[in-house]
Amino acid sequence: MSTQIYLWKKEPAACRRFRTGVSLHSHTLHSREYLSIIPQCADRNRVLAWLVRREARRHGLRDIPREAISRAWWTPPLSPLEALHLESSQIENALHKRALVSITDHDNIGAAAELHSAGDLAEVLSSTEWTVPYCGSWFHIGVHNMPPRAAPALVESMNRYTGGGPDHLLSDLLHTIGQTPQALIVLNHPAWDSEAVGAELHRFALDRFLSRYGSSIHALEFNADRPWPENQATLERARALGIPVVAGGDRHGCHASPVVNLTDAGEFASFAEEVRSGRSVIALLPRLFESYRLRLLETAFDVLRDHPGHSRGWVRWSDRVFYTRHSGAATSLSEMWGHRLPGAVRSLVGLMNALGGQSVRPALRWALAEKPVAL
């Protein structure tokens, strides 16, 4: 097993010798994301909490309306074609390499279907991020480059397991996908307790999961949107397991991934074969060294601003933010309220726009600064 990690800015010569850059773990408007990250970040940082309370008071709120936020979700603003161009352009124009991009929306392959319909694209991958409940916690598995004809049935079976299907379905699916040489199975951000079940329970579930299914996992993920200690723990666990680590951008907004995989492979199947054989090379780009919490907030700022020319006509943020009613029905805020948004919602958006403004950015950068750990 060999995982090499290079800092693009400090080790350019080592990075230049590879001819291909691979972007893994990227999201588009086909994903459903929740807004709970805002209060979560505030809860974990006293300075940020103070900034949030200050801006909330300025906009007529005592605090962030947490119950309302728990029912709200959004779609990333970029279409599959825009996301593909964003990631490819960084690799081709800034890094000067051939680009391979695997878009992994949550539990669906809608991006691949949309890109196939666009036609005349070099390589469209059928990939997804599979939500896997296990032993009281939740994991997310990047399933890259499934055979296009088999992919719809595979995703249907994945969703059946996620929805409460039999336990054997998990092992069956991992085995079936693993038998496809060109496919790559990655355990994304393994140390992250994404559903807040508790650190101890999540570690127990992760240990059990890897003990039973670790032989089916080709790599663990160094995730750009998780804190340094988590990624350090992932690197250590991968060494203990004897499997490589690959880089995942986990991009939801309008900034290209700050981590890229490097290879000499000319197509994704060869890259997958390389990783499956135990070899991985990762480049960490300068933007990664900004606070990950600040980058998460920047994604929220991307969501809550207008996007003229949106592929589905969802120009306003309220077109792309949805609310699940108590009945279970979901509707966009634009459909609910049109242009007459309630004062509390206007205040919340005003709060986010204020936090995203240039005048507040230096304070946020200082409040959210974090020291990278040694890799």
Place of tokens 């408007």: 29
pLDDT band at 296 (very low <50, low <70, confident <90, very high): confident
| Dist. CA 264–CA 17, nearest whole Å | 9
Task: Report the pLDDT value the prediction gives residue 46, as an integer from 0 to 100.
Answer: 65
d(CA 251, CA 257): 6
The CB-side HSE value for 119 (13 A sphere, CA atoms) comes to 0
Q: What is the mean pLDDT of residues 113-127?
A: 84
> What pLDDT does residue 123 have?
80
Q: What is the pLDDT of residue 136?
A: 95
Q: What is the per-residue DSSP string for 238-306? A: HHHHT--EEEE--B-SSS--SEEEEES-SSHHHHHHHHHTTEEEEEE-GGGGS-HHHHHHHHHHHHTS-
Cα–Cα distance, 19 to 298 (Å, whole number): 31
What pLDDT is stored for residue 74 in this prediction?
Answer: 82
- Give the contacts of 49 (CB within 8 A, at least 6 positions apart): 42, 43
The b/e string for 209-226 (b: 16+ C-beta within 10 A; e otherwise) is bbeebeebbbbbbbbbbb
Strands 279-284 and 33-34: unpaired
Nearest of 70, 98, 71 to residue 336 by alpha carbon: 71
CB 305, CB 319: distance < 8 Å: no
Residue 274's alpha-carbon distances to 82, 139, 174, 201, 246, in angstroms, are 28, 24, 19, 34, 11
Strand partners, 105: none
User: Which pLDDT band, with edges at 50, 70 and 90, does 360 fall under?
Assistant: low
Confidence category of residue 354, pLDDT binned at 50, 70, 90: low
Of 30-39, 65-74, 211-220, 252-261, the range with the lowest mean pLDDT is 65-74
Distance CA 62, CA 348 (A): 11
Instruction: Summarize the confidence of residues 321-325 as an average pLDDT.
Output: 82
Residue 353's pLDDT is 63
pLDDT confidence of residue 337: 78
Mean pLDDT to the nearest integer, 159-170: 96
Summarize the confidence of residues 207-231 as an average pLDDT. 96
Residue 37 sits at φ, ψ, to 5 deg, of: -65, -30
Strand pairing class (184-188; 72-74): unpaired
Return the axis-axis angle of helices 167-178 and 151-162, rounded to nearest 10°: 150
Q: What are phi and psi of 359, to 5 degrees?
A: -70, -30
**Structure tokens of 118?**
């666009």
**How far out from the chain centre does Cα 136 lie?**
22
Beta bridge partners, 247, equal: 222
Residue 85: CB atoms within 10 A of its CB come to: 16
* Domain boundary assignment for the chain: 2-30+78-289, 35-74+293-367
End-to-end alpha carbon distance in the chain: 16
Helix (H) or strand (E) holding 199: helix 199-213
CATH topology of domain 2-30+78-289: TIM Barrel (3.20.20)
- Write down the pLDDT at residue 327: 81
The reported pLDDT for the residue numbered 41 is: 56
What does the pLDDT read at residue 52? 62
Q: Measured between alpha carbons, how far is residue 196 from residues 69, 98, 136, 159, 227 in Å?
A: 16, 39, 11, 21, 16
Q: How far apart are CA 176 and CA 103, in angstroms?
A: 21
pLDDT (tens digit, 9 = 90+) per residue, 129-145? 999 999 999 999 999 99
Decide if 52 contacts 92 (C-beta within 8 A).
Answer: no
| Alpha-carbon span 279 to 263, nearest angstrom | 10
